[in-house]
Structure 1
Amino acid sequence: MSKRVLVVLSEYGYWGEELVGPVAELDRAGYETTFATPTGARPQALPPSLDPNYVDPPLGRSVTTPAMARRADELDRSPRLENPLSLAELIPLRPYFSAVNHLRLLEEYHRKLEEATADLVDGFDALVIVGGSGPIVDLANNERLHELVLAFVAADKPILAECYGVAVLAFARDWELRRSILWGKHVTGHPKEYDYQDGTGFVGVDFNMGPPPYPLEYILRDATGPDGGFHGNVGKETSVVVDYPFITARSTPDSVPAGRKLVEVLEQDLRRYGW
């Protein structure tokens, strides 16, 4: 039986290559991919990620080749992204503590959560969280996605996160312990040197946030703790880190090698790479 991978995308814009990279490697391995978004809306690529003439301000050059722009555009327009799963429909949301009859609602929440996450974890061999600026809006602090991540970790199944999608891993925490699941782990992600000073944009929203609302590098340094570490690998062309069950990718050019490493994790039991 071929392996199945659940790929989660933002509804506010994903970076084209950061979807194409892992999906192409999963396709090559013969895996089945299923897509999901926070509310089941069709995801869309960020326009700059489809433009080979767009110059990335911090890097001072284009990060999208004409061939990759074409592949990203084809996937973005393809029927593969139609009718994604809805995390809102699949996974319950924890009730407010101010809710009437809170105890009964909390018991019901835990019952539904266990059923929902068990079904998803049983149905997929790995989880992928695609990067871009969109995850800042609807993935980073998405409690439903946090619960899904925690369930994959509990089941000892791998999770690949890219770029600002790595923030999901930093914020996914056990409700009681409140400690990041990255504590003691080694990761990469968008370093401070790669952050925009201005121009962080989203799909469907006419709004320039300016710089990202939080420096991901600082959050990851804090989340990994004294026994883990953040590896920006600034000055190196690619940065992918495997510290099982996590595969993390820094940015756009790391998407293809990150997809390859996920396949190696699933096929060859790779447990450590990149530091």
Structure 2
Amino acid sequence: MSKRILVVLSEYGYWGEELVGPLEAFDARGYRTTFITPTGKRAHALPPSLDSEYIDPPLGRSVTTRDMARRARALDDSSRLDNPLSLAELLPERPYFSSLNHLRELEDYHRRLATATTELLSGFDALVIVGGSGPIVDLANNERLHELVLAFVAADKPILAECYGVAALAFARDWETRRSILWGKHVTGHPKEYDYKDGTGFLGVEFNMGPPPYPLEYILRDATGPDGGFHGNVGKETSVIVDHPFVTARSTPDSVPSGELLVEVLENGLRRHGW
């Protein structure tokens, strides 16, 4: 039976290649792909990711080939990303502790959450969180996404996260222990050396963020703990880490190999790569 992949996209902009890379690997295997966003709005690519002339400030060169820009634009202009699923509609929101009938609401929340995650897990074999700067806004601290991530981990189903999408893994935590699910794991992600000093951009937000609001490397180093590790692989052209059930990709050029490695996880049981 064909594998089914659930792909999470930010409504504030994804990086074109970071969707194209995995998606083309899935298409080549005949996988069925479904897209989901925080509120069901259609996702769009960040304009610099469609521009082969754009010079990435930390790297001092273009990170998008003309061919990849063409493929990313064709996907973004197509109807394939229309009508995504909605995290807000499919997964309940944990009630505030100040709610008038908190205990009953919390019990109802757990019932509805169990039903929702069971239904989603029955329909999908893997979860993908696409990167770019958009996830900083609406995916990193999205509690509904955290619960979905926790459910995939509990079911031992793989999760691929790219670039700043990896932050959602660091913040997905058991409610009681508050320990990251990355504790003891090996991951990669956007290192400090590759972060912008200015001009971090989002779709629909008209102000200059400057640098990213948090350094992902520091968060991942803390989240993985003394027995895990963060691997920036600065100076190496690609950085993809597999530490089952997680496949993590550092940035744009890691998109194609990360998709290929997720296929290896699904087809051949790959559990470790890159460390």
CA apart distance, 1:155: 0.2
The TM-score with structure 2 as length reference comes to 1.00
Counting only pairs closer than 5 Å after superposition, residues 191-202 of structure 1 correspond to structure 2 as 191-202=191-202
Q: Deviations over 1:243-268 (max 9, x none)?
A: 00000000000000000000000000
CA apart distance, 1:207: 1.6
Distance 1:149 1:26 in 2: 20
Counting only pairs closer than 5 Å after superposition, residues 41-120 of structure 1 correspond to structure 2 as 41-120=41-120
CA apart distance, 1:227: 0.3
User: One-letter code of the match for 2:230?
Assistant: F
Distance 1:103 1:207 in 2: 41
Match of 1:138 in 2: 138
CA apart distance, 1:204: 1.3
Match of 1:25 in 2: 25
Gaps of 5+ in 2: none
CA apart distance, 1:192: 0.3
Distance 2:173 2:244 in 1: 17
Match of 2:13 in 1: 13
CA apart distance, 1:206: 1.0
* SS, match of residue 80 in structure 2: helix
Match of 2:157 in 1: 157
Distance 1:183 1:101 in 2: 34
**How many equivalent pairs are there?**
275
User: One-letter code of the match for 2:225?
Assistant: G
Distance 1:215 1:194 in 2: 10
Distance 1:100 1:74 in 2: 50
* SS, match of residue 131 in structure 1: coil
Segments of 4+ moved more than 4 angstroms: none
User: One-letter code of the match for 2:10?
Assistant: S
Match of 1:182 in 2: 182
User: One-letter code of the match for 1:146?
Assistant: H
User: One-letter code of the match for 1:105?
Assistant: E
Q: Deviations over 1:54-92 (max 9, x none)?
A: 000000000000000000001111111000000000000
Distance 1:122 1:160 in 2: 18
Q: Deviations over 1:180-236 (max 9, x none)?
A: 000000000000000000000101111210000000000000000000000000000
CA apart distance, 1:160: 0.0
Match of 1:235 in 2: 235
Is structure 2 residue 212 aligned with structure 1 residue 212?
yes
* SS, match of residue 146 in structure 1: helix
Distance 1:4 1:19 in 2: 16
CA apart distance, 1:130: 0.1
The TM-score with structure 1 as length reference comes to 1.00
Distance 1:88 1:238 in 2: 34
Over aligned residue pairs, what C-alpha RMSD do you find? 0.4
Distance 1:179 1:100 in 2: 29
CA apart distance, 1:34: 0.2
Q: Deviations over 1:154-188 (max 9, x none)?
A: 00000000000000000000101100000000000
Distance 2:93 2:77 in 1: 31
Distance 2:177 2:26 in 1: 34
Match of 1:248 in 2: 248
Gaps of 5+ in 1: none
Counting only pairs closer than 5 Å after superposition, residues 119-130 of structure 1 correspond to structure 2 as 119-130=119-130
Distance 2:101 2:216 in 1: 38
Q: Deviations over 1:134-171 (max 9, x none)?
A: 00000000000000000000000000000000000000
Match of 1:222 in 2: 222
User: One-letter code of the match for 1:132?
Assistant: G
Distance 1:121 1:26 in 2: 18
Distance 2:79 2:204 in 1: 20
Distance 2:35 2:257 in 1: 20
